[in-house]
Amino acid sequence: MTSKTEGFSFTETARDGHARTGVMTTPRAVVHTPVFMPVGTLATVKSQTPAEIEATGARIILSNTYHLWVRPGPEVIETMGGVPKFMGWPHAMLTDSGGFQVFSLAALRQIDDEGVTFRSHLDGKKLRLTPEESMRIQRALGADIAMAFDECPPGGAELPVLEAAMRRTTAWAKRCLLSPWREGQARFGIVQGGTNTALRLRHLEEIAGMSAGGREFDGIALGGFSVGEPIPEMHRAFGEIVHHLPQGKPRYVMGIGTPYDLLEAMGAGVDLFDCVLPSRNARNGQALTWTGRVNLKQARHKVDDSPLDARCRCSTCATYSRAYLHHLIRADEMLGARLVTHHNLFFYGALCAAARGAIAEGRYAAFAREATETMREGDEIGHPNVNAPKTAKVRRAEKRALSRETSSPTDESQVAPPAPQETDMKAMKLLLNRRSVSKLDLPAPEADVIDRVMEAALRSPDHGALRPWKVVSIEGEGRTKFGEVLAAAYKRQKPDASEDDLASAARKAMRAPLILIVAAELKESSKIPEIEQVLSAGAVAQTLLLALQAEGFGAVWKTGAPAYDPYVKERLGLKASDHIVAILYVGTAKEEPSEQKRPKIKDVLSPWEG
């Protein structure tokens, strides 16, 4: 017989296919599910006051154990009465176990059966996290819901890696159940297994059926999704796995996702979500709306008097024009990030609320299909021509939305006028504005953008059709591994290098969300001299830089010692004779790069006087 957590309960209230609504009660809040939990990493949902978070409809937020452990430390927070009291948040909070951050952020980590040893991303200090330590910190942070400490393998991990992670996660889950409990604090177990349904179901049985020290988990989470696996794989896995989770307990998919991911997951029966996407993308000027993603950096919004989202009732959409938001984001004003963050979180709240309504009325499938179609149709990001005017279908959807919202304060001035047609960026303007961007952040270009910039690069001068080109792309978890390669290369060059130097060498791989390594595959038998082959690969790198800028992304060309290191080449799958000409760091510009002083034409160009 196991005892229940005092003050915590979950009741399913309606069901439509696998989708369901429910009520989750914690000591601090009554939460209607399915629901999105805004991420408050450092005891703050970045840029939002608790009243603003509340206005998005959220009654539960997530905080990150790892970050709060490193700063300001659990002792400070415990003294201040726990995270919710510390930050003035009157509702519920869930904390993650710290595991995911250790696996994604920390350099030079070592996993053993007891726990994980790693270095702090802040000061390089050596730290150790175990199931017991994670539970101790989460008790001190005062969460309503604490998560079991798990090992999260990277996306696309091989079967033996997945199985080893599952074995550890099971052993650690038991130790979490056996750790001292905080009164009223619920504890959720985590199921791993990647996108492999058989593994997931096997692990689910272990975690959901687990009982130790007279306790069992109050809810079950699926971890290890959205870690680099193909999106259709993840959606398929939701459909095959989620409905097998216990019905009487909340189901939580950690760290997802886009509005499309949420719609898929809710259809599969998921109750809880969290993701940094709506707040992080807002800071880069990306808004999520009922008519798809909007890139506020684009010139098409410059004199657009319409609200960000005609259907949205948030204070940002009720007060400000797209033109004003475009201006704030372009000028990197704090208010821009604040207003767009608020809208994005409000939209996620509204999406979940609309889903709850649709489930209760038994029309979830139709609701999800229509929402997905409208969002895809109007999506501004990753489309071939981002400056194209809105399609007639999107305009109709916006108009319908406006006429439905009769109680919202719409007058003529708020009805969207047609966006002014911008001509495509002239090639010359692009060339004259080419510049390096070294402060880079998410989002990275998506697959279709990469395809286009690669198509452009493959038109580089090819020296007698030799095409001595190779491009290696590194992103996501791959960057951590590449960081390890950089650190190892550094150590081979400087055997007495300090731990700090090694950590800083490894961190170079994390400076941008995407790295493209351009190499010349030297053909020694060719009549084309080596330097011309290298120059041809250089042309590929330059075209990539220009094409990425044309697509609205930033990039910087670096080389340095690793480019000439045979060990680095070998680890990248290149031959010793290959020549790395560029390490391109790619992402979204964090700020407008400052204007560089350029040489004068007359210093470079001189007429030949014979």
Pick the closer one to Zn ion by CB: 317 or 541. Answer: 317
Total of chain residues touching Zn ion, rule CB under 5 A? 6
257 close to 276: Cβ distance less than 8 angstroms: no
Shortest distance (Å) from residue 312 CB to Zn ion: 3
- Choose the stretch contacting Zn ion; rule: CB under 5 A; options: 306-314, 325-333, 439-447, 488-496: 306-314
141 close to 94: Cβ distance less than 8 angstroms: no
Pick the closer one to Zn ion by CB: 160 or 409. Answer: 409
Shortest distance (Å) from residue 344 CB to Zn ion: 8
Distances (CA, A) of 223 to 101, 114, 166, 454, 481: 13, 20, 11, 33, 21
Determine, following the binding rule CB under 5 A, whether residue 317 of this chain makes contact with Zn ion: yes
Shortest distance (Å) from residue 342 CB to Zn ion: 7
Determine, following the binding rule CB under 5 A, whether residue 294 of this chain makes contact with Zn ion: no
Burial (CB count <10 Å: 0-12, 13-18, 19+), residue 447:
exposed
Shortest distance (Å) from residue 61 CB to Zn ion: 19
- Choose the stretch contacting Zn ion; rule: CB under 5 A; options: 122-130, 301-309, 322-330, 432-440: 301-309
Pick the closer one to Zn ion by CB: 172 or 320. Answer: 320
- Choose the stretch contacting Zn ion; rule: CB under 5 A; options: 222-230, 314-322, 371-379, 393-401: 314-322
Q: How far apart are CA 451 and CA 474, in angstroms?
A: 15
Report the 10 Å Cβ neighbour count for 513.
Answer: 19
Pick the closer one to Zn ion by CB: 8 or 346. Answer: 346
Q: Which of 574, 578, 571, 585 is nearest to 537 (CA)?
A: 578
Q: Which of 151, 218, 150 is nearest to 187 (CA)?
A: 218
DSSP state of 249: S
- Choose the stretch contacting Zn ion; rule: CB under 5 A; options: 114-122, 303-311, 385-393, 555-563: 303-311
3-state secondary structure of 281: helix
Determine, following the binding rule CB under 5 A, whether residue 312 of this chain makes contact with Zn ion: yes
183 close to 6: Cβ distance less than 8 angstroms: yes
Shortest distance (Å) from residue 398 CB to Zn ion: 13
Tell me the HSE value of 238 on the side-chain side, using a 13 A CA sphere: 28
Pick the closer one to Zn ion by CB: 227 or 312. Answer: 312
- Choose the stretch contacting Zn ion; rule: CB under 5 A; options: 31-39, 84-92, 116-124, 307-315: 307-315
- At a CB cut-off of 8 Å and minimum separation 6, what does 338 contact? 47, 48
Find the farthest-apart pair of alpha carbons in the chain and give their distance in angstroms, rounded: 100
Shortest distance (Å) from residue 348 CB to Zn ion: 11
Pick the closer one to Zn ion by CB: 83 or 314. Answer: 314
Q: How far apart are CA 286 and CA 290, in angstroms?
A: 13
Pick the closer one to Zn ion by CB: 185 or 374. Answer: 374
Shortest distance (Å) from residue 316 CB to Zn ion: 5
Q: Which of 261, 271, 274, 578 is catalytic?
A: 274
- At a CB cut-off of 8 Å and minimum separation 6, what does 221 contact? 147, 188, 189, 190, 191, 251, 252, 253, 254, 272
Shortest distance (Å) from residue 309 CB to Zn ion: 5
- Choose the stretch contacting Zn ion; rule: CB under 5 A; options: 17-25, 112-120, 316-324, 465-473: 316-324
- Choose the stretch contacting Zn ion; rule: CB under 5 A; options: 40-48, 304-312, 447-455, 570-578: 304-312
Pairing state between β 107-111 and 145-147: unpaired
Residue span 319-358 as binding mask against Zn ion, x where in contact by CB under 5 A, dash where not: ------------------------x---------------
The verdict on whether 274 is a catalytic residue reads: yes
Shortest distance (Å) from residue 350 CB to Zn ion: 8
Pick the closer one to Zn ion by CB: 157 or 314. Answer: 314
Q: Which of 16, 96, 150, 441 is catalytic?
A: 96
SS3 per-residue string spanning 146-208: EECCCCCCCCCCCHHHHHHHHHHHHHHHHHHHHCCCCCCCEEEEEECCCCCHHHHHHHHHHHH
For residue 19, give the amino acid letter: A
Q: Which of 171, 217, 167 is nearest to 192 (CA)?
A: 167
Q: Which of 314, 337, 505, 580 binds Zn ion (CB under 5 A)?
A: 314
- Length of the chain (residues): 610
Residue span 183-222 as binding mask against Zn ion, x where in contact by CB under 5 A, dash where not: ----------------------------------------
3-state secondary structure of 533: helix
Pairing state between β 579-589 and 440-441: antiparallel
Pick the closer one to Zn ion by CB: 165 or 282. Answer: 282
Determine, following the binding rule CB under 5 A, whether residue 545 of this chain makes contact with Zn ion: no
For binding to Zn ion (CB under 5 A), which residues are involved?
309, 312, 314, 316-317, 343
Catalytic residues: 96, 274
